[in-house]
């Protein structure tokens, strides 16, 4: 049940972070953002439900929900990619400053690739009955895409989203280290998913402000519709 409580806490952070822009009034968003918000919220609920079902020993129901999660994960990934593209190419008063877009896109793209990789690895482990790896890879799907929610929650404390990025990643990295230490203290070993999540977060964090200096990446941004300076 510790996993359930942890996921409930993560869901509360997500709700608080996106409260002004989504949960307080979903209708203020366009259709794509509403669909993505519902899918992201549903993903957290699926994670909580799956952990709860396993804690109760309801393995058959857990498997059925797992099958549904395949379609859900694909839809979540596709809408997330669409939102990244919209964020890059947007114009108007509500669009992000141009200087922010390479930084945030640099965070989003590898985070989504990690999400996809973790979820596929979790499915493989489930079919091979590697339960310890399966549920850690599933938890990893939350860890690697958590920076947008946490960043928005911390932004007021650091006077803006960009100044809050390093503290956001520091907290996520602390969570990863805590999970690694917990595994070692309880089981006298660690598993790869948390190490991969930690390495991914560190790599993204310490390269994100250099994204605009990479010609190939900026070419990708322009191909996605980045407006001219």
pLDDT digit string (tens) for 174-208?
Answer: 999 999 999 999 999 999 999 999 999 999 999 99
Is 228 domain-assigned?
no
Domain containing residue 215: 2-223
What mean pLDDT comes out for the span 109-123? Answer: 98
Q: What is the pTM of this model?
A: 0.94
Q: What is the C-alpha to C-alpha distance for residues 83 and 98, in angstroms, rounded to an integer?
A: 16
What mean pLDDT comes out for the span 72-96? Answer: 93
- Report pLDDT digits (tens) over 20-45: 999 999 999 999 999 999 999 999 99
Q: What is the C-alpha to C-alpha distance for residues 16 and 149, in angstroms, rounded to an integer?
A: 8
Residue 158, pLDDT score:
96
Tell which residue, 141, 109, 104, 103, has the closest CA to residue 125: 141
Q: What is the mean pLDDT of the chain?
A: 95
Q: Are the C-beta atoms of 173 and 202 separated by less than 8 Å?
A: yes
- Report pLDDT digits (tens) over 87-113: 999 988 778 899 999 999 999 999 999
Helix boundaries (H) for 90-164: 101-127, 131-143, 147-154
Residue 179, pLDDT score:
97
Residue 94, pLDDT score:
73
Tell which residue, 57, 76, 53, has the closest CA to residue 7: 53
What mean pLDDT comes out for the span 5-18? Answer: 95
- Report pLDDT digits (tens) over 137-157: 999 999 999 999 999 999 999
Percent above pLDDT 70 for the chain = 99
What mean pLDDT comes out for the span 113-140? Answer: 97
Q: Which residues contact 31 (CB under 8 A, 6 or more apart)?
A: none
Q: What is the C-alpha to C-alpha distance for residues 5 and 217, in angstroms, rounded to an integer?
A: 39
Q: In the chain, how many domains are there? A: 1
Is 229 domain-assigned?
no
Residue 93, pLDDT score:
74
């Amino acid at each position: 049940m510790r996993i359930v409580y942890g996921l409930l806490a993560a869901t509360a952070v997500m709700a608080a972070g996106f409260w002004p822009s989504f949960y307080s009034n979903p209708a203020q968003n366009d259709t794509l953002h509403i669909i993505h918000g519902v899918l992201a919220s549903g993903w957290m609920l699926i994670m909580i439900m799956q952990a709860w079902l396993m804690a109760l020993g309801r393995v058959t129901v857990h498997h059925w929900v797992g099958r549904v999660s395949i379609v859900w994960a694909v839809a979540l990934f596709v809408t997330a990619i669409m939102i990244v593209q919209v964020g890059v190419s947007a114009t108007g008063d509500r669009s992000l400053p141009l200087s922010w877009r390479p930084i945030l896109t640099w965070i989003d793209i590898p985070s989504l690739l990690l999400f996809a990789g973790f979820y596929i690895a979790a499915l493989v482990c489930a079919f091979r009955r590697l339960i310890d790896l399966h549920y850690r890879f599933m938890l990893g799907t939350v860890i690697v895409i958590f920076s947008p929610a946490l960043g928005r929650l911390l932004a007021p404390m650091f006077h803006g989203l960009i100044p809050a990025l390093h503290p956001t990643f520091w907290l996520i990295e602390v969570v990863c280290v805590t999970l690694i230490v917990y595994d070692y203290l309880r089981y006298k070993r660690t598993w790869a998913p948390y190490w991969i999540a930690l390495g991914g977060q560190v790599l993204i964090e310490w390269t994100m402000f250099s994204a605009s200096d990479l010609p190939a990446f900026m070419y990708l941004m322009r191909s996605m519709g980045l407006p001219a300076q």
